[in-house]
Amino acid sequence: MAETTQKEINIPVADPNDPYAVPAAMPSSADKEPRSFDVADFATPTSKQDDWRYTPLDRISEFFDVFKPSGETTIAIGNTDGTAVDPAQVHVSQVKLGEGVSGTVSKPSDRAAAVEWNSGRTATIIELEGEIAKPILIDITGSGEDLDALHLVIAAADNAKADVIVEHHGLARLAEGVEVTTGRNSHVSTTFVQEWAKGSKHVANQRIHVGEGASLRHSVVTLGGDVVRIRMDQDFGGPQGDLNMLGIYFVDPGEHIEHRTMVVHNEPECKSRVVYKGALDGKDAHSTWVGNALIQPTAPGTDSYELNRNLVLTPGAIADSEPNLEIENGNIIGAGHASSVGRFDDEELFYLQSRGIPETEARKLVVRGFFGELVEEIGVPYISQHLMETIDRRLARGESDAMKAVLEDK
Amino acid sequence: MAEQHTLEIKDLYASVETKEGRKQILKGVNLTVHSGETHAIMGPNGSGKSTLAYTLAGHPKYEVDSGEALLDGVDILKQTPDLRAKEGLFLAMQYPVEVPGVSMTNFLRTAKTEIDGKAPAIRTWAKELGEAMKRLRMDPKFASRSVNDGFSGGEKKRAEVLQLELLKPKFAIMDETDSGLDVDALRIVSEGVNRAKENTGLGILMVTHYTRILKYIKPDIVHVFADGHFVKTGGPELADYLEEHGYDEYLPEGADSESALA
């Protein structure tokens, strides 16, 4: 998109004597990438670059250069109960990429994000106002193996209250950009579910801005896809913002599921929690979680914590887990992190089996419990229930696959 | 009159992989247990008592070389551990395994559903669970905690007996259930086992090193297990004899003493 690349390009070059003079600068040792809409500002990813070191680059190379999108991906928007959204509170529009509020939440932070921006044509914008009682469902269905780009903006006004669920299904090769911006004193939850069909590829970037005094509960549930990589960059728009990021992933043999969260405390007295949990099943199941948290000198009174737990169900899986915490302010409430990779071991399995519980059921019980603890913390009954149902559906799928294998053997 | 069942172990040989290679631990075990009988299996450390318990329950570490274990005629050694449990075998473990993230309630209900082949009625089940826990002096909040997670040694043993009472097996192998229990806990746990036996006509194989628990759970038959098989069988008085004389005469100093006893 020629017009949009005309936008101001401001590659942050920090003055070593005053590294925070430019707001867009990322004075982070874990993330030195520029912020730009221009693809040319980013080198083509290689495994030598920190941001891409865990990613199977050869499997997603088509996402690194501007492409012609198929435009076939469909988006349906309604309430979760099937009724239409209330147009007085939920404004849905399609704009040319770069118009309206699209492109206003920060800037792309890696090459794939810049490619998405420059390959796409339009943005779907959902503007939320007032207290919205019914959860909103944005249903995205993949268009098959042709590469497509999709850009979504969720913008909540000051004092808005809303729950938004974004679901991805079908077979897809999708470059996706999501911008989430919440107004002052708003209380919003956004839940992104990936239930892609086998063979799908999904490379997404999310840019998130949490308003002053606002709370955002941001959940990502990735239960399927050949390669799914979601990079999330966040900052605060004023003091006393509250960000709660929750992630659940289930990785099958051969799949690569990657989540990268970049939480930036740039305002005073804000709170952030990042909790990601994943289960890996089978040979060459690969998960990556990289959690960056940066507490800038402008953010006294910060309270931040990030955690990642992985449960390896069967041998042959790889879980990469990397928390990075940079604290540049001594006057904070807390900054913590924890990371673990554990194994569902033979002794646990034997114990459950010795009580009459078959192996597949035992695994389900353990995985359900592992995620259940996290889902219970959500506190929004509809979302908790929805997520548990999604997880159960995923677990049931595993079972029927196992059953299929048995039948095929015979 | 409770139903009559039989567990018949016939000429069982089993091995374990060790760093030094494969090692045969069970060397021709023969035993028949009927419903309502309590057998004490006593013997020196390292004689293979626990191996027998785990081999019967189907622990993957132990491999059966030959022989069979028939529960009402069905050879359970050919089955996966969950099917053995469904046939009616229960192993109360010496070191119950912690399963983080899975609540006791959910675990017990799932196990009960699998064993019975149908989900228990919610109301009667909750009542039964509550009462069973109360009798074992277990804090109700244990039900919402993860399976054995952070339980003390005594709490774990109570949880094992709780499962025994709720799952109602035909035969229970109690592997050193008395180890690590103080006198009060030993009494409470023993009462639970006796209750299960009274209610269901359970047959019990009590694996123990000490006679302490046998004061609470009275054995009908006492066996001495040494070097991988039974070397002596007697009545309750044999336990008293062992208490006094120890296992010295059964220690594998040479094949002679062993064959003399067999």
- The shortest C-alpha distance from B79 to chain A (Å) reads 11
- The shortest C-alpha distance from B100 to chain A (Å) reads 8
ipTM above 0.90, yes or no: yes
| Total domains, chain A | 1
pLDDT at B260: 35
Q: In this predicted model, which residue has the larger pLDDT, A1 or A71? A: A71
Q: Is the pLDDT of residue A206 over 90?
A: yes
Alpha-carbon span B262 to B257, nearest angstrom: 9
In a domain, A133, yes or no: yes
Query: φ and ψ at B135, to 5 degrees?
Result: -65, -30
In the chain, the amino acid numbered B262 is: A
In a domain, A382, yes or no: no
Q: Is the pLDDT of residue A173 over 60?
A: yes
pLDDT (mean) for A130-146: 96
Regions of chain B where pLDDT drops below 70: 1-2, 252-262
In a domain, A210, yes or no: yes
Q: Which of B202, B213, B239 is nearest to B224 (CA)?
A: B239
Question: Which of helix, strand or coil describes residue B26?
Answer: strand
pLDDT at A256: 98
Answer for the pair B210, B178: CB distance below 8 angstroms, yes or no. yes
CA angle A364, A370, A371 (to 5 degrees): 95
pLDDT at B211: 87
Read off the pLDDT band of A409 (50, 70, 90): very low
Say what percent of chain A tops pLDDT 90: 76
In a domain, A380, yes or no: no
Contact with chain B for residue A372, Cβ under 8 A: yes
Domains and CATH numbers, chain B: 6-261 (3.40.50.300)
Read off the pLDDT band of A100 (50, 70, 90): very high
List helix spans (H) across A41-137: 111-119
Across the interface, whether the CB atoms of B80 and A353 are under 8 A apart is answered: yes
Across the interface, whether the CB atoms of A354 and B91 are under 8 A apart is answered: yes
Across the interface, whether the CB atoms of B115 and A359 are under 8 A apart is answered: no
Contact with chain B for residue A343, Cβ under 8 A: no
Alpha-carbon span B58 to B61, nearest angstrom: 8
What is the average pLDDT value for chain A, to the nearest integer?
Answer: 89
Contact with chain B for residue A315, Cβ under 8 A: no
Across the interface, whether the CB atoms of B58 and A365 are under 8 A apart is answered: no
- The shortest C-alpha distance from A368 to chain B (Å) reads 8
In the chain, the amino acid numbered B220 is: D
In a domain, A292, yes or no: yes
* Residue A17, both tokens: 């004597």
Q: Which of B91, B103, B153, B101 is nearest to B129 (CA)?
A: B103
- The shortest C-alpha distance from B188 to chain A (Å) reads 22
In a domain, A31, yes or no: yes
A interface test, pick of B82, B108, B110 with most A CB neighbours within 10 Å: B82
B interface test, pick of A343, A349, A350 with most B CB neighbours within 10 Å: A350
In a domain, A199, yes or no: yes
Read off the pLDDT band of A9 (50, 70, 90): very low
Which residues form the domain of A186? 2-343
Q: In this predicted model, which residue has the larger pLDDT, B55 or A27? A: B55
Query: φ and ψ at A350, to 5 degrees?
Result: -60, -40
Q: In this predicted model, which residue has the larger pLDDT, A19 or A17? A: A17
Across the interface, whether the CB atoms of A369 and B57 are under 8 A apart is answered: no
In a domain, A364, yes or no: no
Q: Which of A250, A287, A252 is nearest to A371 (CA)?
A: A250
Query: φ and ψ at A390, to 5 degrees?
Result: -65, -45
pLDDT at B122: 87
Q: Which of A171, A218, A207 is nearest to A74 (CA)?
A: A171
Contact with chain A for residue B114, Cβ under 8 A: yes
- Beta strand ranges found along A157-302 (DSSP E): 161-169, 173-182, 187-195, 201-210, 215-224, 227-236, 242-251, 256-265, 271-280, 286-295
pLDDT at A398: 57
Contact with chain A for residue B16, Cβ under 8 A: no
Q: Is the pLDDT of residue A152 over 70?
A: yes
Across the interface, whether the CB atoms of B81 and A353 are under 8 A apart is answered: yes
Across the interface, whether the CB atoms of B101 and A366 are under 8 A apart is answered: yes
- pTM greater than 0.90 (yes/no): no
